[in-house]
């Protein structure tokens, strides 16, 4: 009887892993970061928006609201990109990427709104490293028995990201000619690797371009190496590339066809480096 009581006390003292933690990321690039960090951990990663959905003008579906309700932690870029999430996340355990302290923040022209914060913060790997640290802290609070593993994974992932940054810096060192983007999305990448200043056809979320802006872009088109457009923007971007007599280079900004962070970020570098070789 004493032996059974002793065994019973040991069982009670063991950590109970009864459920997995659901981490819901607003967009797929953030999900790829979560998945790179939580390998072999009791964490289920999911994405709120389908890669083809634009977060700029969005009403959440019932199925997406259900995902939000069931999530233990919601990771989102922030109100600059996803204002529709501000209200649903008021009473949720959430992690706002753009709200973290110490980020490299940039402003961009946003049409009639003037200067606004550039929401594409995940394109700067220094920012991604800060997110990993914040994510580690958040997960340690809900998975205290995995603290040692989470800390080890944090150190490992930060090292891998530093290596990726070094590789990308070396690769971008040869990019000397400016390029145009279809919409104003790559400023964080350009700033991180000290690339020539980038111009954009669409500076905000407006549906049309002013004649004056198009004339200006055409005037200096010869000084640009290419027009870069997201994979979902290609049909709309093609006529502008033809008007400016520029090669059209495709990138996958929202990770439509990417299943790992490493492939995703390296492919962005492929697009930009490939653009520089067009002329």
Reported as a single tens digit per residue, the pLDDT across 7-28 is: 334 334 444 444 799 999 999 9
Give alpha helix (H) positions in the chain: 2-13, 28-37, 62-70, 125-142, 147-172, 187-192, 211-219, 234-243, 261-276
Using a pLDDT cut of 70, give the percent of the chain over it: 89
> 191 with 91, same domain?
no
Phi, then psi, of 95 in degrees rounded to 5: -125, 115
- Please check whether residue 255 lies inside any domain of the structure: yes
251/34 Cα distance (integer angstroms) = 22
The number of distinct structural domains making up the chain is: 2
The secondary structure of 149-184 as a DSSP string is HHHHHHHHHHHHHHHHHHHHHHHHTT--S--EEEES
Report the range of poorest mean pLDDT among 113-117, 170-174, 216-220, 237-241: 113-117
Using one digit for the tens of pLDDT, what is the confidence trace for 243-256? Answer: 999 999 999 999 99
> 128 with 71, same domain?
yes
- Please check whether residue 1 lies inside any domain of the structure: no
Q: What is the DSSP letter of 148?
A: H
> 158 with 252, same domain?
no
- Please check whether residue 31 lies inside any domain of the structure: yes
Nearest to 173 by CA among 192, 188, 199: 192
Instruction: Point out the domain boundary residue: 134, 168, 202.
Output: 168
- Please check whether residue 242 lies inside any domain of the structure: yes
The secondary structure of 88-131 as a DSSP string is TTTTS-EEEGGGSTT----EEE-GGG-EEE---GGGSHHHHHHH
Instruction: Point out the domain boundary residue: 148, 168, 188.
Output: 168
Span 144-148, average pLDDT: 95
> 137 with 223, same domain?
no
- Please check whether residue 154 lies inside any domain of the structure: yes
CATH of the domain at 114: 3.40.50.1980
> 224 with 98, same domain?
no
Residue 6 has pLDDT above 80, yes or no: no
- Please check whether residue 191 lies inside any domain of the structure: yes
> 144 with 193, same domain?
no
Q: What is the DSSP letter of 84?
A: G
> 56 with 139, same domain?
yes
> 129 with 229, same domain?
no
> Of 93 and 60, which is predicted with more confidence?
93
Residue range(s) defining the domain that contains residue 125? 21-168
Instruction: Point out the domain boundary residue: 110, 143, 168.
Output: 168
Nearest to 143 by CA among 9, 12, 22: 22
Sorted by sequence, the CB contacts under 8 Å of residue 48 that are 6+ apart come out as 24, 25, 26, 27, 64, 67, 68, 74
């Amino acid at each position: 009887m004493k032996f059974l009581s002793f065994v019973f006390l040991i069982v009670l003292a063991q950590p109970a892993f009864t459920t997995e933690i659901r981490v819901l990321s607003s967009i797929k690039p953030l999900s790829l970061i979560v998945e790179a960090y939580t390998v072999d951990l009791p964490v289920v990663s999911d994405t709120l928006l389908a890669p083809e959905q634009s977060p700029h003008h969005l009403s959440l579906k019932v199925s997406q609201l259900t995902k939000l309700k069931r999530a233990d932690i919601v990771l989102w870029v922030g109100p600059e990109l996803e204002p529709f999430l501000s209200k649903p996340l008021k009473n949720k355990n959430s992690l706002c990427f753009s709200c973290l302290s110490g980020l490299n923040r940039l402003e961009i022209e946003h049409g009639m709104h003037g200067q606004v914060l550039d929401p594409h913060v995940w394109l700067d790997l220094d920012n991604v490293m800060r997110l990993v640290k914040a994510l580690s802290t958040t997960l340690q609070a809900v998975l205290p028995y995995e603290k040692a593993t989470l800390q080890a994974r944090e150190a490992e992932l930060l090292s891998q990201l530093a290596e990726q940054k070094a590789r990308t810096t070396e690769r971008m060192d040869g990019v000397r000619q400016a390029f145009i983007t279809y919409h104003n999305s790559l400023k964080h990448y350009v700033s991180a690797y000290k690339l020539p200043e980038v111009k954009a056809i669409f500076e905000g979320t407006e549906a049309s371009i002013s004649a004056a802006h198009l004339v200006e872009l055409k005037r200096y088109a010869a000084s640009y190496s290419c027009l870069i457009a997201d994979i979902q923007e290609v049909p709309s971007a093609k006529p502008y590339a033809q008007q400016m007599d520029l090669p059209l280079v495709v990138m996958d900004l929202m990770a439509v066809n990417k299943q790992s962070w490493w492939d995703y970020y390296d492919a962005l570098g492929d697009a930009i480096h490939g653009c520089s070789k067009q002329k």
